[in-house]
Chains A and B, each alone.
Chain A
Amino acid sequence: MSLTIDDLNSLQIDVLREIGNIGAGNAATALSKMISKRIDMDVPKVNILEFKNVAELVGGPEVEVVGIYFKVTGDITGSIMFLLDKQSSKLLTNLLMGMEDTTDTLSEMEFSALQEVGNILAGSYLSSLSSLTGLKLIVSIPSLALDMAGAIISVPVILFGQVGDKVMLIETDFCEGTNHVKGNFFLIPDEESFEILLKSLGVV
């Protein structure tokens, strides 16, 4: 039997937090370069939650958010989810494309730009994780949805339903100072991958 969520000790959780730190640090740097703005990043959190509490993590199940979802395959499997509230996604596309679009909707072009941002962030997160661990990691193409946070976050969470009653999400919050673009970045390794991931860093 491989390592499960309940088996994780505090050292292992610290290591997972550090993975979030390094991965998200690289992703934040990439985002900062892309929009030529300073990006602040919080200390990552390792959230171990029951399913019914997951939506609270993202501000409540009904908040309208943009979710950019990636599947991770290779030596470990899991998901990456980049969440932005609707206002932040609008601000971010304006910054990226040098526009002042004040409409309430997001155009095809803006969706496409957000997917590309997601792509770059997920790529830099995973490549740093890959060089740290020596594991081979492959990220899928992005898939984007603008909808209720609960509905969006349920997608990676369902995978955990097959193995247990809790989910673990490594979360890092970003904030762009002057324009208040706020986002959350989640790395959600599948439970079967915990052991491989931790072993690669010598803590199993």
Chain B
Amino acid sequence: MADLIKVGMADLNTVCFPGVLTTLGLGSCVGICLYDSTTKIAGMAHIMLPSSQQIKNNSNIAKFADTGIVKLLEDMLQIGAKRNKIVAKLAGGAQMFNFNDSSDIMRIGARNVSATKESLKALNIPIIAEDTGGNYGRTIELYSDSGILLIKTIGYGTKQI
């Protein structure tokens, strides 16, 4: 089995074939997976927040959907990915805890997902699959040989998208 490269919270990374990228225990955060099947270059970002706008301290660009995607794309292009071949898969964006007041911070999962989609749309990157929402955590693995995204959960099974 190829090396598993871990992507932590507010972190991003890229691999070439035959690498595998993984991020463990995604909750309201979103795992953004980009893949170019022609060069078998894969990238993954684990973003925490929708937007770097209006945030006082935004030095860690991997923390936000808007800046994280741009950086991930740049990194992939740098190692040889083809811009017009890159597609995206998304996972995460759950609401782990349920409170009656639907304050913004409690709906952060849904906001992360919609911000991610907007950013991808702006960059013209098609989303070919997603497993988002719900109220449960996910561990994801992105395989650079096939572009398959494996999603593992506790109590909600395992699936591939």
Report A's interface with B, CB cutoff 8 A: 50-55, 60-62, 64, 67, 69, 71, 140-141, 143-152, 154-155, 157-159, 161-165
Complexed CA–CA distance, A140 and B55 (Å): 26
Q: Give the number of A-B contacts (CB < 8 Å).
A: 111
Contact between A150 and B11, CB atoms less than 8 A apart: no
Residue from A67, A69, A147, A154 having most chain B Cβ neighbours under 10 A: A154
Residue of B nearest to A62 (CB): B24
Q: Which residues of B contact A150 (CB under 8 A)?
A: 9, 24-27, 137
Residue of B nearest to A161 (CB): B48
The one of A143, A145, A158 that contacts B108, using a Cβ cutoff of 8 Å:
A158
A sample of 16 cross-chain residue pairs with beta-carbon separation below 8 angstroms, ordered by A number, consists of: A51-B48, A51-B63, A52-B9, A54-B9, A60-B24, A61-B25, A62-B25, A64-B154, A140-B99, A147-B27, A147-B96, A147-B137, A148-B24, A150-B26, A151-B27, A155-B28
Q: Please tell me the size bucket of the interface on B.
A: 20 to 34
Complexed CA–CA distance, A150 and B152 (Å): 13
Contact between B63 and A161, CB atoms less than 8 A apart: yes
Contact between A155 and B27, CB atoms less than 8 A apart: yes
Closest Cβ–Cβ distance, residue B30 to chain A (whole Å): 11
Report B's interface with A, CB cutoff 8 A: 8-11, 24-29, 48-49, 55-57, 59-60, 63, 94, 96-99, 105, 108, 135-139, 154-155
Contact between A148 and B137, CB atoms less than 8 A apart: yes
> Known contacts being A152-B27, A158-B108, is A164 close to B57, with CB within 8 Å?
yes
Complexed CA–CA distance, A158 and B106 (Å): 10
Closest Cβ–Cβ distance, residue A140 to chain B (whole Å): 7
> Known contacts being A62-B139, A165-B60, is A145 close to B9, with CB within 8 Å?
no
Q: Which residues of B contact A161 (CB under 8 A)?
A: 10, 48-49, 63
Contact between A143 and B28, CB atoms less than 8 A apart: no
Closest Cβ–Cβ distance, residue A157 to chain B (whole Å): 7
Contact between B57 and A165, CB atoms less than 8 A apart: yes
Q: Which residues of A contact B59 (CB under 8 A)?
A: 165
Contact between B138 and A162, CB atoms less than 8 A apart: no
* Other A-B pairs beyond A151-B136, A152-B96, A165-B59, 15, CB < 8 Å: A51-B11, A62-B25, A69-B97, A140-B99, A148-B137, A148-B138, A149-B25, A150-B9, A151-B96, A152-B27, A152-B137, A154-B25, A157-B48, A161-B63, A164-B57
